[in-house]
Amino acid sequence: MNKVTYTITNFLSPLEHSCSPSNFERILESTDHMGGSFSSIVEEIVASPFWQSVDYLDNPYRLLCLNLAKEIDAIYSTNLEPAYHSRLHFKDVCLMLSYLLMQEELIELNELAKSTWASSREEKWLLLLAAIGHDFCHPGLINQTPFEIEMKSLALLEAFLSKSKLDNNLIESIVRRLSPWILATDPLAYGGLLSKIASTQASHEDYLAMLLIEADLFASILPIKGQLLGARLAEEWKSINPGKAATVNSSQGRVAFLEGLRFMSPHAQILRAEQIRLNSIQALKDLNY
């Protein structure tokens, strides 16, 4: 067993519930230097104790996750990868989504929470599929209209599904479930979704979308990894919007970004995500102000 496999296996073991910010940094950094393909990392993720524990007979999503990761690898074997919206980002989101979902068995859910935040085994696999494909073929640009890039990713994901041997009704069901989650990853949609959840006006689908978004954002709140990701996003934007690139790579820009986030799920509360976010803000202010 190689070191990366061992690390992911232990990270995604239900017996390992507690993880410090430094350990999150360590797993994300070590898998940045995996030396293999994105699909090999996804294979290791789905073979982990957590995902094995939520697998079930005739589960169609496990193979879809693996095949989508292979499709993404094939695309980037001949196409230039964006600096931020790359397979490294997809990998981070898959790992953090997995770790968030793994906390569900520790959450003491009341009846209201069970109907909102709790996910079925099928929904967990659908969320993993969304994590793999939420930025499918991202062009490294900025939306000029609402959901522009997210809709293109969804169209490509639907085309990928149409090439599978799945029943058309199942394909339609997958697209119907994933669409609102992936569209919600448009940064401009974040504030509206946050307000809905804070006011308890959200639907079950909104709560699942927020779990995907929290996984999408989690690496960015870490003190070291987050600054590295800001630099990657600046590299991605420097030719299309130099002003935004400079801002996102500055301490002031990072503080503003972090101050605009909130981690609402009980899953993230177990991981003390809000404290990690606040600590990162304070460290930046102490250093620069």
Burial class for 176, CB neighbours closer than 10 Å (0-12, 13-18, 19+): exposed
Q: Supply the pLDDT for residue 107.
A: 78
Q: Supply the pLDDT for residue 47.
A: 97
Q: Supply the pLDDT for residue 2.
A: 46
**Interval 222-249 mean pLDDT:** 96
What mean pLDDT, rounded, does the chain reach? 92
Instruction: Kindly state the helix (H) or strand (E) to which residue 202 belongs, with its residue range.
Output: none
**Interval 240-261 mean pLDDT:** 96
**Interval 258-262 mean pLDDT:** 98
CB 237 within 8 A of CB 36: no
Q: Examine the pLDDT at 3 and tell me if it is beyond 50.
A: no
> Where are the chain's structural domains?
3-288
Q: Examine the pLDDT at 217 and tell me if it is beyond 70.
A: yes
Residue 180 and residue 127: Cα distance in Å, rounded? 12
Q: Examine the pLDDT at 238 and tell me if it is beyond 60.
A: yes
Within 10 A of 166 (CB to CB), how many other CB atoms are there? 16
Residue 88 and residue 79: Cα distance in Å, rounded? 15
Q: Supply the pLDDT for residue 1.
A: 38
Q: Examine the pLDDT at 5 and tell me if it is beyond 60.
A: no
Alpha carbon 235 to its chain's center: 20
CB 50 within 8 A of CB 102: yes
Q: Supply the pLDDT for residue 288.
A: 72
**Interval 166-194 mean pLDDT:** 97
Q: Supply the pLDDT for residue 171.
A: 97
Q: Supply the pLDDT for residue 115.
A: 66
| pLDDT tens sequence across 14-50 | 876 567 889 999 999 999 987 679 999 999 999 999 9
CATH of domain 3-288: 1.10.1300.10
Q: Supply the pLDDT for residue 14.
A: 82
pTM: 0.95
SS3 category, 275: helix
Q: Supply the pLDDT for residue 108.
A: 67
**Interval 3-17 mean pLDDT:** 73
Q: Supply the pLDDT for residue 113.
A: 63
CB 18 within 8 A of CB 55: no
